[in-house]
Amino acid sequence: MGLKGFVEGGIASIVAGASTHPLDLIKVRMQLQGESHLPNPSLQVYRPALAVNSAAVGNVSISQAVSQPRVGLVSIGVRIVQSEGVAALFSGVSATILRQTLYSTTRMGLYDILKNKWTDKQTGNLPLTSKIVAGLIAGGVGAAVGNPADVAMVRMQADGRLPIDQRRNYKSVIDALGQMTKQEGVGSLWRGSALTVNRAMIVTASQLATYDQVKETIIEKGVMGDGIGTHVTASFAAGFVAAVASNPIDVIKTRVMNMKVAPGAEPPYAGALDCALKTVRAEGPMALYKGFIPTISRQGPFTVVLFVTLEQVRKLFKDF
């Protein structure tokens, strides 16, 4: 595939990322709810999937907070529109496009290269384990390349939930990267990079390997041909597996990337493990699945758009 695989994967990823950006923004807002270092963290509690906990945050227990009227995916979207305007649903979309250009283009192209290299030339088969390994490698490399855009995207998506005097007010992804470099140093562009790499490896391995495996099985069993029905079915399966596998890491990654570190003050989290422990102690273990509903609601459409677009782009570029 060579360069062609990178181009095809990049086009499909940008289309999928931009079209599902509002769902990703809502997911980020939900994942940040309940952080105890924020002012009045319990004033607006979004429902974690399967919430069961009773830990205390300040003087308000999480069980009391969760007993308030539950807020779902649509309700949160409506609240964002009412308080910040319709355009707020696309806050950070420039960072999303840059992230997909760097991260997804790299992982999709590299996965194709490894898959073609490792496929048995005589039988045309590639074991599931090899697909998973290819996904792990491709995801890790892609995440390392795209981490700066990932940090900028999280911050731009989360900015609207902060008090007005604490907002960063980035004008664009370029402005975000520039301000971060000036105020926090170049190292801030790779904040949470270990989490980003781990998450990307899990997502890419589960998403791409599941899609290829389900697609091949459907065609081999004669259930459907190599058409839109097979692509959509395999995409949904891939999106669900990726969402379940990656959500806990995604919650921790979001919180670490979004934390504000005042000059001379200790950061809210010392690292990924510290963030995970503090989150579980303060909000219960199911807090690691906060935002799961929008995650799966976004992963489903994102994965379908990604692979359906990819298949169509491949047909378009077939003769190139």
User: Could you tell me the pTM of the whole model?
Assistant: 0.74
Cβ atoms within 10 Å of 57's Cβ, excluding its own: 19
Cβ atoms within 10 Å of 233's Cβ, excluding its own: 17
Return the SS3 of 56.
strand
Q: Which residues contact 233 (CB under 8 A, 6 or more apart)?
A: 214, 218, 224
Could you give the dihedral angle defined by the CA atoms of residues 238, 152, 77 and 305, in that order, rounded to the nearest 10 degrees?
-30
The mean pLDDT value for 215-229 works out to 94
Residue 40, phi-psi category: left (phi > 0), alpha (psi -120 to 50), beta (remainder): left
Model pLDDT for residues 45-63, shown as the tens digit of each residue: 444 444 444 344 444 443 4
Residue 254's alpha-carbon distances to 132, 150, 169, in angstroms, are 25, 9, 18
Distance from C-alpha of 48 to C-alpha of 33, rounded to nearest angstrom: 9
What is the pLDDT at residue 48?
A: 42
CA atoms within 13 A on the CB side of 77: 15
Phi then psi dihedrals of residue 57, to 5 deg: -125, 110
Model pLDDT for residues 56-93, shown as the tens digit of each residue: 444 444 344 344 445 667 888 898 999 889 999 998 89
Return the SS3 of 97.
helix
The answer to whether 256 and 269 have CB atoms below 8 angstroms apart is yes
Q: Which of 10-24, 35-49, 147-161, 200-214 comes out lowest in average pLDDT? A: 35-49
Confidence of residue 250 (pLDDT cuts 50, 70, 90): confident
Q: Look at the block and give the residue holding tokens 């790499």.
A: 197
